Amino acid sequence: MIREALGSVYKKTIGPLKDGLIEFVSSITKRAGLLQLLYALLVVALAAGFINAVVFPVPNQSYIPYPGGSAETVPEAIIDSFVIIVGGAGIYLAVLSGRQTVRTRTVSLYLGLALLLIIVSLFTGIDLAILKGYG
Measured between alpha carbons, how far is 70 from 76 in angstroms, rounded to an integer? 13
| Residue 67 maps to a domain | yes
Domain containing 90 equals: 49-132
Evaluate whether 70 touches 111 at the Cβ level (below 8 Å).
no
Alpha helix positions (H), 49-101: 50-55, 74-99
pLDDT digits (tens, 9 = 90+) for 45-71: 888 888 777 777 777 767 777 777 777
Residue 60 CB partners (closer than 8 Å, separation 6+): 66
Residues 69 and 21 in one domain: no
pLDDT digits (tens, 9 = 90+) for 3-28: 666 666 666 666 676 777 777 667 66
What's the total number of domains in the chain?
A: 2
Q: Supply the pTM of this predicted model.
A: 0.66
